[in-house]
Amino acid sequence: MTTQVLYEEPGPKAKRRSLFSSVGVGVVILAVLTWVLVTLGAQGQLTVEKWGPLIDPTNGTFGPLWNLLGQGLLNTLLAAALAVVLSLVLGTILALSRVTAARWYRWAVVGLIELLRGVPVVIAIFFASRVLPEFGVDLSLVWYLVIGLTAYNMVIIAEIVRAGILALPRGQAEAAYAVGMTRGQVLRTVLLPQAFRAMLPALISQLVVILKDTSLGFIIGYEDFVRQGQIIIQNLGNPIQTYIVIAIVFIVLNYALSRLAIWVEHRISHGRKAATDATAVEKEVAGD
Amino acid sequence: MDVIVENLPMYLDGVRVTLLICLYAAVLALVLGTLMASFRVSPLPPLRGAGASWVTIFRNCPLTVVLFFMAFGLPEIGLNGSYFWFGTVGLALYTSAFVCEALRSGINAVPAGQAEAARAVGLDFSQTLSLVVLPQAVRTVIPPLGNVYIAMIKNSAIVGAFGVGGDLFAVGTTLTSARGEAALPVLTGVVIGYLIITIPAGLLLGVVERKVAIAR
């Protein structure tokens, strides 16, 4: 809904007024930002010693520092990629067993999903790292992190895939059965591909969540991006600067992923509704 | 499982502290999120830009980084506080971005025709807003807002991982690390503690959703 409907169409006077208030608000926002910068400067947070190693390539520590951070970023991406693949596989299996299996088994799956969905992911990671060794399962740190992330995200993905299957028109499955396909074939060749396609934006958005949650590896000492940042801070004593840089990297990565999800969604809905709805979609995207 | 029974008061206290963190963060996030949502639908471009930047920053930055910044960055410029408050405010900042988007989607979901019809039968601006648009917006917003808050309850465990004394996560680390109890029963107790908060919250949300849902 556009707020336009709530108000009168602005006349020349109202337009002038809103231009003035826009400038006023802009000045206030700039003033706040300036005040923040001045405060940081007064506290000696804008000095070259603090920022140089992070942003100045000619600085002696720049190379080794970004080596360390880069290694951390690779570790983060590795853990996230492993968790994504495992969650996708296990989540799809869970979703399929929930859709097709016998009643008692379905209840067990629903129970598992509800259980894992209610547990904070940080607890799942902590649980994996503390409990598995008690049972003699001795893994490297990355796997505890991956197991914790997978336990949580596979049920989310299972729900996404299930929603995708249920949203398909009934005729799809009926037609497939009618031409003599078995249940497995119907799922594999007709329903799943369509469900994945429809759910692709939701799945990509879940990637953002997994990538962010990988930073929880710090509680078990996994040397991810954030943990490497801590090592740098211990040596250089610049927490504000380092965390700002780390935050920017995460924000850029995740923002790119969410734009990708929106772009894919846009493409999919364009494909489906063809020309009839194109203008409506256009409007929606513009209003975002 | 004896360890849970023996330390039951500690667990209950953990649930209490976790709920306390969530309560403060929920209120603060609602205030900030509403403010940012009103920025985002405002007719003034600079406000819209500020709201959009806020959401982009806090939605894409891991809560861990927000909390580290609060706990170790802010003392550098002379802002000192307890981890409890750093954690709670950090959680609120992070959650406010999601609250903002939930509210905005609710307002956007009310079809323009509703307001047009209200104006056509002669309701003025405040009547249109309070009688027609807002009641519908609130009802559409409840499910996504509920999900945001359930996610926030789970995220509060991360605040606990930052050494907030006495919350559920801290109970787990105290009993396993400091007292050397076996991890399985201790952490099972912690998991149960979170489940008795999150599962009823989810069920309650489902009930409310069915009660207020509007077919569209």
Tens digit of each residue's pLDDT (9 = 90 or more) over A195-246: 888 888 888 888 888 988 998 888 888 888 888 888 888 887 788 888 988 9
Q: Can you give the pTM of this predicted structure?
A: 0.84
**Residue whose entry in the numeric block shows the structure tokens 């799922």:** A187
Rounded-to-integer distance, Cα B51 and Cα B34, Å: 10
Rounded-to-integer distance, Cα A198 and Cα A267, Å: 11
Q: Cβ distance A145 to A220 under 8 Å? A: yes
Length of chain B: 216
ipTM: 0.84
Whether A270 has a pLDDT exceeding 80, the answer reads: no
Residue A45 carries which DSSP code?
Answer: -
- For residue A3, the distance in angstroms to the closest alpha carbon of chain B comes to 8
**pLDDT tens per residue, range B67-89:** 988 888 888 777 777 888 888 99
- Which residues of chain B are within 8 Å of residue A46 when distances are taken between CB atoms? none
Residue from B35, B40, B44, B64 to probe the interface with A (highest A Cβ count within 10 Å):
B64
Percent of the residues in chain A that have a pLDDT greater than 70, as a whole number: 89
**Residue whose entry in the numeric block shows the structure tokens 């307890």:** B82
Residue B216: predicted pLDDT: 55
Per-residue pLDDT band for A285 (boundaries 50, 70, 90) equals very low
Average pLDDT of the segment spanning B136-151: 85
Whether A271 has a pLDDT exceeding 70, the answer reads: no
CB contact under 8 A, A226 and B45: no
State the average pLDDT for chain B. 85
CB contact under 8 A, B108 and A119: no
Residue A277: predicted pLDDT: 46
State the average pLDDT for chain A. 81
Q: Cβ distance A124 to B201 under 8 Å? A: no
Residue A160: predicted pLDDT: 87
- Which residues of chain A are within 8 Å of residue B184 when distances are taken between CB atoms? 131, 134
**pLDDT tens per residue, range B183-206:** 888 888 888 888 888 888 888 888
Rounded-to-integer distance, Cα B115 and Cα A283, Å: 19
Find the CB nearest B157 among A21, A122, A253.
A122
Average pLDDT of the segment spanning B58-70: 90
- Which residues of chain A are within 8 Å of residue B172 when distances are taken between CB atoms? 123, 126
Residue A147: predicted pLDDT: 92
Domains in chain A: ranges and CATH: 65-263 (1.10.3720.10)
- Which residues of chain B are within 8 Å of residue A39 when distances are taken between CB atoms? 77
Residue A251: predicted pLDDT: 92
**How far from A88 is each of A9, A191, A201, CA to CA, in Å?**
49, 16, 14
**pLDDT tens per residue, range B29-47:** 999 998 888 888 777 788 8
**pLDDT tens per residue, range A25-59:** 888 889 888 888 888 878 777 777 777 777 777 77
Burial of A38 (0-12, 13-18, 19+ CB in 10 A): exposed
CB contact under 8 A, B195 and A119: yes
**How far from B117 is each of A5, B58, B110, B123, B128, CA to CA, in Å?**
10, 37, 12, 9, 9
Neighbours of A79 (CB within 10 A): 27
Which amino acid does the sequence have at A199? M
Phi-psi region of B202 (alpha: psi -120 to 50; beta: other; left: phi over 0): alpha
Whether B142 has a pLDDT exceeding 80, the answer reads: yes
**Residue whose entry in the numeric block shows the structure tokens 């406010």:** B96
Closest CA to B142 of B211, B42, B189: B211
Residue B166: predicted pLDDT: 78
CB contact under 8 A, A226 and B64: yes
Closest CA to A86 of A45, A142, A37, A35: A142
Per-residue pLDDT band for A276 (boundaries 50, 70, 90) equals very low
Whether B27 has a pLDDT exceeding 90, the answer reads: yes
Rounded-to-integer distance, Cα A159 and Cα A156, Å: 5
**pLDDT tens per residue, range B118-127:** 888 888 777 8
Residue A275: predicted pLDDT: 43
A111 three-class SS: helix
Average pLDDT of the segment spanning B130-148: 84
Per-residue pLDDT band for A282 (boundaries 50, 70, 90) equals very low
Burial of A100 (0-12, 13-18, 19+ CB in 10 A): middle
Whether B96 has a pLDDT exceeding 90, the answer reads: yes
- For residue A89, the distance in angstroms to the closest alpha carbon of chain B comes to 24
**pLDDT tens per residue, range A69-128:** 888 899 889 998 899 899 999 998 888 888 776 778 888 888 888 888 888 898 899 888
Cα angle A112, A115, A118; round to 5 = 145
Whether A284 has a pLDDT exceeding 50, the answer reads: no
Q: Tell me the two tokens of residue A199.
A: 């759910």
**Which DSSP string do the residues of A203-243 spell out, in sequence order?**
HHHHHHHHHHHGGGGGGGT---HHHHHHHHHHHH--HHHHH
**pLDDT tens per residue, range A150-172:** 999 999 888 888 888 888 888 88
